[in-house]
Structure 1
């Protein structure tokens, strides 16, 4: 005899069913045949298998919660279209469960302590993390919380086991290649934060496209995904590189700031300078001119993050997911 806890796979093999069927039986999900349910129940009894606490909580429909923790303390976050769409995606899936969503802004020590208290008191069954920077202490707090953790986006060190991300590098490459195909040769970029995987990936995609076309990639300014930083970066680029004829901006919010500066300076878009953003938030369809941008499936990002987290809570082992991006051509380029 051994005190080792049997695994979900061992239960599945004993019952002669798939791992997913075992999870559905444990969670009292519908669409499981009577024979399969009975086989799983016999295997559980024979092996003395005990589902983990979080999975049993879902199975018995006890009240519970999951956390969406964002590494930001900016109250403007609530008006940011990107985060709003992520939350809509998360909520769409949660409506099918009895779990509640807790939102924690956790860039500060106070915010991280709040998350730690929630996890230590077992008021949450899992955590989703967004907007993490390199070596972000929030990741450590979540990892020590004793619950499953899903990351929105990859880390620069590649240490996250479970994440959902968009193909940012390919999206930026598509955008730069499009600008080149329209005859633009003096192309600048406004990057996102380069201590975030998303910022680095979009910058690398830009550089790859220009390198293949044998064009210079020295026209660079940096932002932080806010409209104000986009305006400041565009001002810098016009000062340092007044001859530029296109700019790839690493977020639509920053592109709005860039468009404002170009209008103030009397630079015609796209006649003199083409502008491409990234994200395709609702704002991109209401700028003047409307914004050519790279669409990432933001609501799907939220949906897949919470689906992955629920799978982990049920004791499953999902795989990381990369969502495709798509160039959307409008008036600005």
Structure 2
């Protein structure tokens, strides 16, 4: 059996210096972007790096600086939701864009079970990241406690009533839900219900509270279906439940666009026309809203901007040498009215 070929030797800074005919210190100054290097020497060093195949040892540099150069994006969702929810994807892209501009690496960590929470808490304590951004945190989340104990710079997207409190960036879920629910009711609907989801987090509870604010005395708790996640399947289950409770229902506020799409699918299968028989509105203005037939009336939330702003807040904490307080940033939303209601 032929033995495996030996691994090629990694080029070092000394190899670059020898090839360029300069000192190791001069190479180091070029690699660190420092001044006081002649253009002739800089050109020779860049050519030498390309020739010898030198790749900078980022791990060693970060160890010396006591920095990992990475930020964790921690997502508290089942794997299926992580893959299917366009908002999470847009938050991730916005976060990555802001971190990339600052030369930081994004590390995504998905939490679905208690074991995941323990694993991620240990990972955060290992010095592998310089900060964290938490998406979809639940009440009593152990990750926030671990972050506080580690004094790790961190920001939550959303603002759950956790102890300890962390800095956050979010939207006015309650006000936006009230606004679109009032507009739905104003179209002449008499039996308006809601498919509420994610009630173990602030966004879900606030959207339900906004719906109650909008309906006032007309609010009927029997016309609220409570579902665990912001998913298409939750919309199917919720709409089926509401039709069984009250076949005369003529308006539905779905807690997300994915939920609304599932609800519309059930209504169509039951021979109910949207919006003629039942008006449906959602929340997010995600890709689900534009795939829906008819196009979905919804609340537009700036998912990518939420991710980017959260990244900026974490980076500000890292640069200042501080940790997160309990301050918050609220970004604007907008009702987008389309044909579904």
Q: Give your verdict on TM over 0.5.
A: yes
CA contact (8 A) 1:116 1:145 kept: no
Structure 2 equivalent of residue 261 of structure 1: 266
Q: CA deviation at 1:241?
A: 1.1
Structure 1 equivalent of residue 218 of structure 2: 215
Question: Does 302-311 or 104-113 show the bigger shift?
Answer: 104-113
CA contact (8 A) 1:186 1:216 kept: no
Q: Which runs of 4+ in 1 moved over 6 A?
A: none
Report SS of the residue matched to 2:139.
Answer: coil
2:159 to 141, 154, 169: 154
CA contact (8 A) 2:139 2:201 kept: yes
CA contact (8 A) 1:188 1:220 kept: yes
Question: Does 316-325 or 116-125 show the bigger shift?
Answer: 316-325
Q: What root-mean-square deviation, in Å, do the aligned CA atoms of Structure 1 and Structure 2 show?
A: 2.2
Q: Could you give the per-residue CA deviations for residues 22-43 of structure 1, whole angstroms, max 9, x where no partner exists?
A: xxxxxx9xxxxxxxxxxxxxxx
Counting only pairs closer than 5 Å after superposition, residues 135-174 of structure 1 correspond to structure 2 as 135-157=140-162, 159-174=164-179
Q: CA deviation at 1:139?
A: 2.2
Q: CA deviation at 1:75?
A: 4.2
Q: Please list every run of 5 or more consecutive structure 1 residues that lacks an aligned counterpart in the other structure.
A: 1-27, 29-56
- CA shift in 2, pair 1:158/1:250, >3 Å: farther
Structure 2 equivalent of residue 183 of structure 1: 188
- CA shift in 2, pair 1:121/1:61, >3 Å: closer
Q: Could you give the per-residue CA deviations for residues 279-318 of structure 1, whole angstroms, max 9, x where no partner exists?
A: 1112211211111001111111111110111111112678
CA contact (8 A) 2:144 2:164 kept: no
Q: CA deviation at 1:97?
A: 1.6
Q: Distance in 2 between matches of 1:90 and 1:157?
A: 23
Q: CA deviation at 1:141?
A: 2.7
CA contact (8 A) 2:145 2:164 kept: no
- CA shift in 2, pair 1:280/1:135, >3 Å: same
TM-score between both structures, scaled by the size of structure 1: 0.78
Q: Please identify the structure whose Cα radius of gyration is greater.
A: 2
1:325 to 310, 315, 333: 333
Structure 2 equivalent of residue 100 of structure 1: 105
